[in-house]
Chain A
Amino acid sequence: MTEGEFLQSAYRQIRELLSDSSASAPRFSPLHGVHVELGASFTDFAGWEMPVRYSSDLAEHHAVREAAGIFDISHMAEISVSGPDAVAYLNYAVAADVSKLAIGQAKYSLLLNEAGGIIDDLIVYRLGDEHFLVVANAGNRFNVVPPLQSRTAGFRAVVVDQSDETALIAVQGPRALEILENTVGLTLAEAAAHRPQSSLTDLKYYWSLPATFLGNPVLIGRTGYTGEDGFELYIDVAAAAALWSALSEAGQSRGLVPAGLACRDTLRLEAGMPLYGHELDLTTRPDQAGLGRAVAFAKDGDFVGRAALEAPLPASAPVLVGLVGEGKRAARAEYEVYSGDTKVGIVTSGALSPTLGYPVAMAFVDASLSAEGTILDVDIRGSRHPYTVTALPFYSRKKN
């Protein structure tokens, strides 16, 4: 073994050790100290020690629906894609057609494998003619980065994992706009003036603007995972705590509360948004999960997963539905779904909806039983409860 080979092999071993999150100590958000000071309870999420709640799941949930909540989602993975072939490369590597995106525009997308299974769901932001930001789930970072890198073969495109340098703060709720506009030190960058929507007020859903906070670049996306209006702010980890406190100060008189992962889950469930590992996984095709629209068959050229997904969905494949129950007993993930005595599906997420007051769930069921209004039974720890198949989302905010 040459010295070079030895170093390479040692480097590979270190990298494997670092990437095995289950074997290593928990990872901490750059905002961990802020959460401790706020009295948060913590939970392990994809190897990260993250706030599950600060006071009450329900109070935080209602605050986001009625005023605003501030979330630390710094565990998410941020991956930069750049180069002269960035568009062609991404159109091959992911399911969306990114050639249609204007600078500043974002798109919900999927990273597929050759079989059409879902490696992760993503948001892709176009930051420039040849520059994109891909945001992936924390738990999938090390499943997403290697295929994104290997798929660059033949393209002049560079993939850089910037997760460790990037913090992500979400402000969600009907008062989010007002809070950002009153955050001291947060101002739009000069480049924002040249965008089709040049202010936060005008910024449309799934568009972004460049900004600065006390001299640090910030990307502000009008995106979220709660079903409310809101923003997600990407910033260097070193400036994250100062931004959190400036946003909190602006929110103090506007009903803003720190909000943990527990309410994030009930909020996204009410909004009918999938969670990787629950509604989406490697064995699930996008069209089973109601995400057929996220696959751009009309775009030019091949993309990973295209051939497999051009074959029609087999009639035997279960499909994702919304289920609504009565009473207070919630169908939860992994509970079985029945039609008569026949098992016809499985619940992937479920809770007593804090906003609606009745149980809601998402489940994969036989396609023949997926029509709205179909009544199915969920086995809740040994007793059967009727649930009705319902269109998603369960909750939609009132749009102004």
Chain B
Amino acid sequence: MANPTDLSYTDEHEWLRVDGDIAVVGITAYAAEKLGDIVYVELPKVGSTITAGAVVGEIESTKSVGELFAPVSGEILEANDAVVASPELVNNDPFGAGWLVKVRVTSTGTLLTADEYNALIGE
């Protein structure tokens, strides 16, 4: 699956759709495929404050456990309850219905463009 060019990325395989100071965050199709079938997602609580680079959640597949790193600092505005209920959404639609959290951003870490992310994963 091609990485959309209108998104920003991190080297921890997350994507961000930034609109003003609001960012929607998910994991990339590449990350979802590497994890395998996702069976459990734990997301930070709405209202909690996250710090860029810190572990804020977990994504488990049948075979392994992946940590969710905060790609930005800020406050969690929404967590996607649909992926908690149906973790397979992350595999099926990683850049859409499989989004994870919406954040009010206070500061961002280092973000990559789609081209830079493609280079990182060798595509």
Chain A interface residues (CB < 8 Å from chain B): 41, 52-53, 56-59, 61, 262-263, 265-266, 328-330, 332, 351-352, 354, 381
Contacts and interface: CB of A to CB of B under 8 A. Distances in A.
A270 B113 CA distance: 43
B43 interface: no
Interface stretch (B10-18, B59-67, B70-78, B96-104): B59-67
Contact of A352 (B33, B40, B58, B91): B40
B116 interface: no
B62 A381 contact: no
A32 B63 CA distance: 22
B39 interface: yes
Contacts of A61: 62
Interface of B: 33, 36-37, 39-40, 58, 60-63, 65, 87, 91
Closest 8 CB pairs of A and B: A328-B40, A58-B37, A57-B62, A352-B39, A57-B37, A57-B36, A262-B63, A56-B37
B65 A332 contact: yes
A201 to B, nearest CB: 34
11 contacts: A52-B63, A56-B37, A57-B36, A57-B61, A57-B63, A58-B39, A262-B63, A328-B39, A328-B60, A329-B40, A381-B65
Contacts of A329: 40, 60
B34 to A, nearest CB: 8
A254 B58 CA distance: 37
A253 to B, nearest CB: 26
Contacts of A381: 58, 65
For B60, B61, B62, the residue with the greatest tally of chain A CB atoms inside 10 Å of its CB is: B62
A137 to B, nearest CB: 19
A347 to B, nearest CB: 13
Nearest to B34: A41
Nearest to A53: B36
